[in-house]
Structure 1
Amino acid sequence: MSFFTDKQTLDDLNITGRYKNNSITFLFDQVITTGGIRLLEHMFRQPLTDPAEINKRSDIFKRFTAYPSALPFSAEEFVVLEDYLGARGSLNRAEVIKNAISKKALQVVAQDEAYSLFNSGIISTIKLLIRFRDFIDTLETDEGLLREQLIALKDIFRLQKLQKVLNVPAAKELPLFKMIKYDYLLRCVLKKEMEKIIESIFQFDVYTAVAAVARDHHFCYATALPKARNVLNIQGLYHPTVEKAVGNTITLNQENNVLFLTGANMAGKSTLMKSMGIAVYLAHMGFPVAAEAMEFSVRDGLYTSINMSDNIGLGYSHFYAEVLRVKKVATDVAADKDLVVIFDELFKGTNVKDAYDATLAITEAFSENRNCFFMISTHITEVGEILRERCNNFRFTYLPTIMQGLRPRYTYRLTEGITMDRHGMTIIRNEGILDLLQVEAAPRTPGN
């Protein structure tokens, strides 16, 4: 079973979209092959729920982070290899000969370029195969998780038929008979082996690209634990696309499975919640996360409600959209699914009294499922005081605001407790909005 989420969550966290500025996919999109792109997108679409598989994948990335490597060719060079090996060929030697002679004849008679292009395609492919063979030889086969893959690749490169192709002197152009021979071997006799090599290139493309991102951004690799351990510990958590971000520690378990977050506007609540959601998602992919250290029990899925909007087409108000969102999550929680749930300011689309009552009732009801982890923020701090009296499984935290005269300063440091910080009117006054509205109109003069 794969880790599940939905479009709202992916949009809230800005996960998908390799051409979308500041998306998490964009951040990791350092691959150079089309197959690498497809593999990377597949990993983003299907996070894992098996801790062994997660740890296996992250350990491979970790190996390439510790020992930097890069594919020994450019994207443009690889396209030549992929186009040549992927071109439709025949398993019949006679047809291979006929095709090559036909190209040669057209070159002589009509100065057609097909023969030269085909010839250079074979030569370029041979050069790149040699480079990839040498790249594989630099990787130690005693690396446990890569051992089987590396041994299989080295066995392919040791095949006598492939050796005949790779151990030939470099040339700008191959004679016709050699071109026929090498084409038949590469695209016909060794077709399956070439497919395995190309697939491995795609994989190593992703390995090296993800590792480079982790190394450049100083990300860490999370340790996945069995679901029954029921823990989520993240030290030094920060948002991966925010420069000079402040790190915070998040600790949740069965005894304290709800993090209740308060703080003034602009104190950093939404960014912290997005940081946690992104870390949970990437950790289930086996990818590096923006933190100093992380361990987590695998969950079934992740839901967020951060940037909810109305739906004019369906006639939904903002409040009703929030209600439907909560209902969706409640349905899965009631179905005994182990989730990570992140709610930013529940029911802000309704009046204060209804928001108070609904936030209190829904938060308390959700918290009874100890196998789910909840992160819930609100400006209605009175709800927190009631929950502190009623519930023993909450961790109450806030992001503080320090007033320097009339100017607020935000530490972005998570602090234990519930804050009563409310500085909205201070900010409004600092911007001079009330002064603008209270300016007396100039006296009218006759004729104006």
Structure 2
Amino acid sequence: MSFAADKQTIEDLNLLGKYKPQSIYSIFNKVKTLGGERLLDAMFKHPLTDPDIINRRSDIFRYFREKDLVFPFQPAVCRIAEDYLSAVIPGNRIQATFSVFRKKALEAFLRDEQFAAIYSGLEATIEMLAKLAELLRQLDGKPGDPYYEQALQLKNILADPRLFWLSQEKGQQLSAMKVAKYDFILRHSLRHEMEKVLIGIYELDVYTTVGSVAAERHFSFAKALPASQNILRAVALRHPALEKAVGNPVSLHGDKNVLFLTGANMAGKSTFMKSLGIAVYLAHMGFPVAAQNMEFSIRDGVYSSINVADNLNMGYSHFYAEVLRVRQAAEEVSNGKNMVVIFDELFKGTNVKDAFDATLAVTSAFSKYLNCIFVISTHIIEVGEALQDHTNLQFSYLPTLMEGNVPRYPYILTAGITSDRHGMMIIQNEGILEMITGNNNTTTIVR
């Protein structure tokens, strides 16, 4: 079973997108090779659901963060080597040798570039393999290290007797005979081994990159637990794309599986909820998370309703689009899936009375699915008061502090239900009513 996150959730959390501003993918996309980028894409699109596999990948990333190694391969060299190695030589040694000499002759008489392409590909491959050997020596792993088995496989390939010439030929001018000989070895005799080498280099690209990002941004590695333990805990959880983000604790489990969140606009509710959803997604990838510490039970997926828009083509109003999102979440949850569900400002597309009734009913109904985790926010604080008899709900808010007439937002999660009602004061601070009534000259706007 694969980890589920639909298109709306991916967009809500801004997870994917190479060129999207502040996308989570762009934070980690510092890889140097095209193969490394393909591997990174695959990891982002296919989070894991096996705690052992997740923890194993996390251990490898942590290992490379601690090693603090620089990926030594030049992107251009890797591209040339990959193109060269991907072209398989047909036939036998004699045919391959004849083909190389024929291309050499064509180069001399007709300025044909086929031999030059083989030569540059061979030269790039020799350089790449030499750098790989040096990097593996720097790792100098021992049995039990997270990367030991993968490193040993690559070392065994490089130790093949058919590659004894590598250390001798680096940087040397090669004769046509040597080109033919080495070309046949790399692209015919050791074709499958060279494919494994390329994959190993792409993995090293991702491992060193993710480890470096974790060190630079002070991310930590979450511990994956079996689904049966049903917990989600984090210390100093924050948004990974914000440089000065405030960290907050999270502790949700079977006895307290619903976080009911209140607070004013701009107090940080949406950012907090996105931070949680992003951390859950990255943790299931085995990637580092923006927290001091995190442990989580494996989930079947994460589902959010944060930036739901109307659909003019389908004729859906904003409210109806919200209702459909809740229905989709209900289908997932009622089918027995262990989900993390995030609802930001439920039913804001309808009137206050309907929003109150609907939020109360939906929260009450979802809270009974103790195998799932829910985070639900609302402006309608009276809903929280009506839910006080639900023992499995946690009530938290993000406060607004008034300094005179100016609001300040500390972004610190606080137990309870907010009593903040500063909306009208903010409207007055912006001088909106004075603009409308034309009394600008008599009012001082506080900013």
TM-score by length of 1: 0.96
Residue 413 of structure 2 corresponds to 414
Match of 2:217?
Answer: 217
Moved over 6 A (4+): none
1:114-152 residue CA offsets vs partner (Å, 9 max, x unmatched) = 323322321221122111111112211334322221111
**Secondary structure at 1:144 match in 2:** coil
- Structure 2 counterpart of 1:428, one-letter code: I
Q: Map of 1:24-43 to 2, 5 A cutoff?
A: 24-43=24-43
Q: Tell me, in whole angstroms, the C-alpha distance in 2 between the residues paired with 1:393 and 1:17.
A: 37
Question: How many angstroms apart in 1 are the aligned matches of 2:171 and 2:263?
Answer: 69
Specify the SS of the correspondent of 2:168: coil
Q: How many residues align?
A: 440
2:12 aligned with 1:8: no
The 1:441–1:227 alpha-carbon spacing in structure 2 relative to 1, beyond 3 Å, is closer
In structure 2, the residue matched to 1:155 is 156
Offset at 1:169?
Answer: 3.9
* Unaligned stretches of 5+ residues in structure 2: 442-447
Aligned to 1:395: 394
Report which stretch shifted further, 423-432 or 336-345.
423-432
The answer on whether the counterparts of 1:260 and 1:397 sit within 8 Å (CA) in structure 2 is yes
Per-residue CA distance 1:377-436 (angstroms, 9 max, x = gap): 001000000101x21011100001111110001110000000121222111111111111
- Partner Cα distance (1:232, 1:120) in 2: 52
Secondary structure in 1 matching 2:236: strand
Q: Distance in 2 between matches of 1:169 and 1:329?
A: 61
8 Å contact from structure 1 (residues 255, 370) kept in 2: yes
Shift of residue 250 of structure 1?
0.7
CA contact (8 A) 2:68 2:212 kept: yes
The one-letter code matched in structure 1 to 2:422 is H
Partner-residue secondary structure (3-state), 1:207 = helix
CA distance in 1, matches of 2:149, 2:426: 61
Q: Assess if the C-alpha contact under 8 Å between 2:88 and 2:188 holds in 1.
A: no
Over 3 Å counting, the alpha-carbon distance change for 1:266 and 1:435 in structure 2 is: same
Give the Cα–Cα distance (whole angstroms) in 2 for the partners of residues 212 and 381 of structure 1. Answer: 43
What residue ranges of structure 1 are gaps of 5+ in the alignment? Answer: 443-448
Is 1:258–1:393's contact at 8 Å kept on the other side of the alignment? yes
Kept in 2, the 8 Å contact 1:406–1:426? The answer is yes
- Offset at residue 182 of structure 1 (A): 0.5
Aligned-partner Cα distance in 2 for 1:26–1:362: 35
C-alpha separation in 2, matches of 1:441 and 1:278: 45
1: CA distance between counterparts of 2:270 and 2:15?
15
Q: Within 2, Cα distance between the matches of 1:367 and 1:353? A: 21
Match for 1:215: what amino acid?
A: A
Deviation for aligned residue 1:359: 0.2
- Structure 2 letter corresponding to 1:252: L
Alpha-carbon deviation of 1:441?
Answer: 11
Aligned residue for 1:235, secondary structure, equals strand
Residue 18 (structure 1) aligned with residue 18 (structure 2): yes
Query: In the aligned structure 2, how far is the partner of 1:108 from the partner of 1:268?
Result: 70
Answer whether contact 1:123 1:172 (CA < 8 A) is retained: no
Residues 112, 253 of structure 1: alpha-carbon distance in 2 compared, 3 angstrom cutoff: same
Looking at structure 2, the residues matched to 223 and 116 of structure 1 have their Cα atoms a distance apart, in angstroms, of 51
Residue 296 to residue 427, structure 1, CA distance change in 2 (3 Å): same
Q: Distance in 1 between matches of 2:297 and 2:235?
A: 15
Deviations 1:69-111 (A, max 9, x none): 1222111111111111112422421221222112111122123
AA of the residue aligned to 2:313 = G
Q: Which amino acid aligns with 1:401?
A: T
Given that 2:396 and 2:417 are in contact with CA atoms closer than 8 Å, whether structure 1 keeps it comes out as yes
**Residues 22-75 of structure 1, C-alpha deviations (whole Å, 9 max, x = no match):** 100111101111111111111111111111111000000000011111222111
2:272 is equivalent to residue 272 of structure 1 = yes
Matches within 5 A, 1:52-201: 52-139=52-139, 140-164=141-165, 166-201=166-201
**Match of residue 288 from structure 1:** 288
Query: What CA distance in whole angstroms lies between the structure 2 residues aligned with 1:277 and 1:84?
Result: 42
1-structure distance, mates of 2:312, 2:220: 42
Pair 1:394–1:170, CA change in 2 (3 A):
closer
Counterpart Cα distance in 1 of 2:294 and 2:439: 59
Structure 1 residues 104 and 361: CA distance shift in structure 2, 3 A:
same
The residue identity in structure 1 corresponding to 2:185 is L
2-side partners of 1:197 and 1:226: how far apart?
A: 34
In 1, distance between residues paired with 2:22 and 2:220? 19
Is the counterpart of residue 233 in structure 1 residue 237 in structure 2?
A: no
Of the structure 1 ranges 262-271 and 64-73, higher mean CA displacement relative to structure 2 is found in 64-73
Q: Which moved more, 1:87-96 or 1:26-35?
A: 87-96
SS of 2:288 mapped into structure 1:
coil
Check conservation: 1:93, 1:184, Cα contact below 8 A: yes
What is the rounded CA distance, in whole Å, between the counterparts of 1:316 and 1:274 in structure 2? 25
Compared with structure 1, are the counterparts of its residues 103 and 254 closer, same or farther at alpha carbon in structure 2 (3 Å cutoff)? same
SS at the partner of 1:295? strand
Aligned residues of 2:237 and 2:250 also touching (Cα < 8 A):
yes
CA drift at 1:440: 6.2
Question: For 1:426 and 1:287, how far apart are their aligned partners in 2?
Answer: 43
In structure 2, what is the equivalent of residue 445 of structure 1? none
Query: 2:444 — aligned with what?
Result: none
Give the AA of the match of 1:380.
I
Counterpart Cα distance in 2 of 1:334 and 1:108:
73
> Contact between 1:342 and 1:375, CA under 8 Å: does it hold in 2?
yes
1:425 maps to 2:435: no
Structure 2 residue aligned with 1:317:
317
User: Distance between the aligned counterparts of 1:260 and 1:429, measured in 2?
Assistant: 29
Larger deviation, residues 118-127 vs 421-430: 118-127
2:303 is the alignment partner of 1:331:
no
Task: Kindly report the root-mean-square deviation, in angstroms, between the aligned alpha carbons of the 2 structures.
Answer: 1.4
Which stretch of the first structure deviates more once superposed, 295-304 or 118-127? Answer: 118-127
Residues of 2 paired with 1:340 and 1:422: CA distance?
30
